[in-house]
């Protein structure tokens, strides 16, 4: 037996194994902290797109835990500022899950979380192109364009109406010529006269002749009356047409003034005079962009490819490394999970505490969404804050994220609403109640924000009459409500802002604009009238000519009436003496 043991076992090998194990343990002791620190920095930097620094990491095995000190996450849009800084964090890990290659944090505690802290050195990874939209709100020009410039390429409704009128009148004239041609004319009157004369000559034929003459006279009278009726109808129609066209001529003649008024108003509203509180759009868009950029950066942390449970699935294509087949688990766990994290956010006015639950990039495996709830009361400069919400990616194809943020009694001071540009506007002081509710369902955003400001004091800078007018109007505003709707998609958001300030500012600018708009209106009226004059003169001439056709019709009626009188007279019995 001893021979077999000596033949097959190597006692020195056991010592060597011991040495290897000691080396491994020593390596762990020396390097584990640095490896974890590098891993946190590398992963964080890749996710955020700016430097993530960690001052110290400490890894413990019994119990399994990771301590992080001095975590700084650079704001990618402001490389000299940390978006988030965490003084101290401690993660308690699930040891059993670690054996299964799952990084599960049972409880996490993040203390001294601070927002927007200054950095000692830039955290930018690479120079990014400057966002041109950050240049401040450009005050639209107070000068209106001149009439010639406006009308240069502008299709005018008045001129088009004048052309249409001239065309219609020409067609109407031609139609009436044809119709009058077809009406009973002088030839017909002469014909009737000849028939009457013949009847008058035939009166001497005794009683039978008298009766036949009377019958023919009646027939003649009926024919004349029918023609008279036709002529009267045509006369009435002509009168109606002429009246219609006369009304249209008057309308076209009045067109330039109406169109000039509309154009002047449109150009006035499109410029400084109709801007309302447009500078708020810039602020709302800036905030929305920032919020959505962070929201998108969080995306890889809260969702990745879906994993259906209940069936073995091939995960990765084979190429030298084979494929991993995942099998259903009785209690499936994601590869990374923070079950519960207690977070204390240190704001200038105090501390807001909250909890984040079920943070994992595989919520489909966990079957529960990430939820968060934060609250703080009686803070300096803020009465109360409540933030609740969920990032629900349990069905990765249909994200259902919700947020409900309420800030009460926020003391606002020197908040730049429009930075730089021609109209810098600052909210120098106000007390605000803010509510942001909504979320994302599928790819559609639907977030509503509402801010009620009281005790407001606005300050507007800039030069020129428009800036002065805005400044004066804002100086009188003490209370206002600002509402914003965020729609569209996370990649293509749309922001719409409404505010009482719109009305106030638009009113102020209208007053300022009144004289300029009136002058522009007069110029436009003259210019449009000039273009229309020739067409209108043609139309009037055509109308006069058309109206002139009523005279011959009346003459024909007169002739026929005379003839009818003669016929009636001829039919009257005459005494032989």
The residues of the shown chain that bind other proteins, judged by CB under 8 A, are: 7-10, 13-14, 16-17, 20, 96-102, 312, 314, 318, 320-330
Q: Check the CA dihedral 108-111-116-122 and report its sign.
A: negative
The H-assigned helical ranges of 386-499 are 465-475
Least CB distance to other proteins at residue 385 (A): 41
Least CB distance to other proteins at residue 368 (A): 21
Question: 501 with 264: CB under 8 angstroms?
Answer: no
Q: Check the CA dihedral 514-520-526-528 and report its sign.
A: negative
- 508: helix, coil or strand? helix
Considering beta carbons, is residue 19 or 171 the nearer one to other proteins? 19
Considering beta carbons, is residue 311 or 572 the nearer one to other proteins? 311
Considering beta carbons, is residue 5 or 207 the nearer one to other proteins? 5
> From CA 167, how far away is CA 159, in angstroms rounded?
12
The pair of three-digit structure tokens given for residue 113, joined into one six-digit string: 């979380």
Considering beta carbons, is residue 1 or 120 the nearer one to other proteins? 1
DSSP code, position 13: H
Torsion of CA 316, 318, 322, 324, to 10 degrees: 20
> Pairing between strand 64-75 and 78-93?
antiparallel
> From CA 114, how far away is CA 342, in angstroms rounded?
14
Considering beta carbons, is residue 261 or 313 the nearer one to other proteins? 313
Considering beta carbons, is residue 175 or 325 the nearer one to other proteins? 325
How far is the CA of 147 from the CAs of 223, 272, 514, 516, 528, in angstroms? 62, 18, 16, 12, 9
> From CA 17, how far away is CA 19, in angstroms rounded?
5
The H-assigned helical ranges of 358-435 are 363-366
Least CB distance to other proteins at residue 14 (A): 6
Question: 200 with 157: CB under 8 angstroms?
Answer: no
Considering beta carbons, is residue 99 or 575 the nearer one to other proteins? 99
Considering beta carbons, is residue 314 or 475 the nearer one to other proteins? 314
> From CA 336, how far away is CA 104, in angstroms rounded?
6
Considering beta carbons, is residue 6 or 215 the nearer one to other proteins? 6
Q: Check the CA dihedral 389-393-394-398 and report its sign.
A: positive
How far is the CA of 402 from the CAs of 38, 343, 492, in angstroms? 33, 20, 18
Q: Check the CA dihedral 245-251-253-255 and report its sign.
A: negative
Least CB distance to other proteins at residue 330 (A): 6
The pair of three-digit structure tokens given for residue 448, joined into one six-digit string: 């509503």
Least CB distance to other proteins at residue 25 (A): 14
**Phi and psi torsions of 570, nearest 5°:** -65, -30
How far is the CA of 530 from the CAs of 146, 158, 261, 537, in angstroms? 16, 11, 16, 11
Considering beta carbons, is residue 207 or 330 the nearer one to other proteins? 330
> Pairing between strand 382-392 and 350-359?
unpaired
Torsion of CA 187, 192, 196, 202, to 10 degrees: 90
Considering beta carbons, is residue 13 or 573 the nearer one to other proteins? 13
The pair of three-digit structure tokens given for residue 393, joined into one six-digit string: 């990616």
Question: 369 with 357: CB under 8 angstroms?
Answer: no
Question: 549 with 241: CB under 8 angstroms?
Answer: no
Considering beta carbons, is residue 101 or 126 the nearer one to other proteins? 101
Least CB distance to other proteins at residue 19 (A): 10
Least CB distance to other proteins at residue 317 (A): 11
Per-position b or e across 488-517, b if 16+ CB within 10 A of its CB: bebeebebebebebbebbbebbbebbeebb
Considering beta carbons, is residue 118 or 310 the nearer one to other proteins? 310
Q: Check the CA dihedral 227-231-237-241 and report its sign.
A: positive
The three-state (H, E, C) secondary structure of 246-261, written as one string? HHHHHHHHHHHHHHHH
Considering beta carbons, is residue 320 or 573 the nearer one to other proteins? 320
- 444: helix, coil or strand? strand
């Amino acid at each position: 037996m001893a021979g077999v043991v000596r033949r097959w076992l190597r006692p020195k090998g056991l010592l060597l194994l011991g040495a290897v194990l000691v080396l491994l343990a020593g390596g762990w002791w020396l390097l584990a902290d640095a490896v974890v620190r590098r891993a946190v920095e590398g992963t964080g930097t890749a996710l955020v797109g700016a430097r993530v620094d960690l001052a110290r990491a400490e890894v413990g095995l019994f119990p399994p835990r990771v301590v992080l000190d001095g975590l700084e996450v650079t704001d990618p849009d402001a490389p000299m500022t940390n978006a988030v800084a965490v003084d101290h964090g401690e993660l308690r890990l699930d040891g059993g899950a670690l054996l299964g290659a799952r990084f599960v944090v049972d409880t996490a505690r993040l203390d001294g979380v601070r927002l927007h802290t200054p950095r000692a050195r830039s955290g930018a990874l690479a120079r990014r192109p400057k966002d041109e939209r950050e240049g401040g709100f450009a005050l639209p020009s107070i000068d209106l364009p001149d009439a010639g410039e406006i009308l240069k390429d502008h299709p005018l409704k008045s001129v088009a109406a004048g052309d249409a009128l001239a065309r219609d009148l020409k067609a109407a004239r031609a139609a009436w010529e044809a119709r009058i041609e077809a009406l009973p004319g002088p030839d017909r009157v002469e014909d009737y006269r000849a028939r009457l004369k013949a009847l008058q000559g035939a009166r001497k034929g005794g009683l039978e002749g008298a009766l036949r003459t009377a019958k023919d006279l009646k027939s003649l009278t009926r024919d004349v009356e029918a023609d008279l009726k036709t002529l009267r109808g045509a006369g009435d129609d002509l009168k109606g047409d002429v009246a219609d066209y006369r009304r249209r001529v008057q309308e076209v003649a009045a067109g330039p003034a109406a169109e000039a008024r509309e154009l002047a108003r449109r150009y006035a509203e499109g410029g400084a005079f109709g801007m309302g509180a447009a500078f708020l759009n810039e602020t709302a868009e800036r905030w929305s962009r920032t919020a959505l950029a962070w929201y998108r950066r969080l995306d890889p942390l809260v969702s990745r490819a879906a994993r259906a449970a209940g069936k073995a699935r091939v995960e990765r294509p084979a190429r030298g490394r084979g494929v991993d087949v995942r099998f259903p688990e009785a209690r499936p766990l994601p590869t990374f999970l923070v079950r519960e994290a207690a977070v204390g956010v240190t704001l200038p006015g105090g501390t807001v505490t909250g909890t984040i639950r079920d943070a994992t990039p595989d919520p489909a495996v966990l079957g529960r969404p990430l939820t968060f709830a934060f609250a703080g009361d009686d803070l300096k400069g803020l009465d109360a804050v409540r933030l609740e919400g969920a990032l629900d990616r349990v069905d990765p194809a249909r994200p259902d994220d919700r947020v409900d943020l309420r800030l009460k009694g926020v003391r606002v001071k020197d908040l730049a609403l429009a930075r730089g540009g021609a109209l810098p506007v600052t909210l120098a002081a106000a007390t605000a109640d803010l509510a942001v509710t909504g979320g994302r369902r599928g790819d559609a955003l639907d977030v509503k924000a509402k801010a009620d400001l009281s005790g407001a004091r606005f300050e507007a800078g800039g030069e020129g009459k428009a800036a002065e007018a805005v400044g004066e109007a804002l100086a009188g505003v003490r209370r206002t409500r600002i509402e914003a709707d965020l729609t569209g998609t996370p990649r293509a958001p749309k922001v719409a802002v409404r505010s009482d300030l719109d009305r106030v500012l638009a009113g102020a600018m209208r007053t300022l604009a009144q004289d300029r708009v009136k002058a522009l209106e007069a110029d436009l009226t003259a210019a449009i009238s000039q273009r229309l004059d020739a067409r209108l003169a043609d139309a009037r001439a055509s109308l006069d000519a058309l109206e002139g056709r009523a005279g011959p019709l009346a003459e024909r009626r007169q002739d026929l009436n005379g003839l009818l009188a003669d016929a009636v007279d001829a039919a009257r019995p005459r005494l032989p003496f």
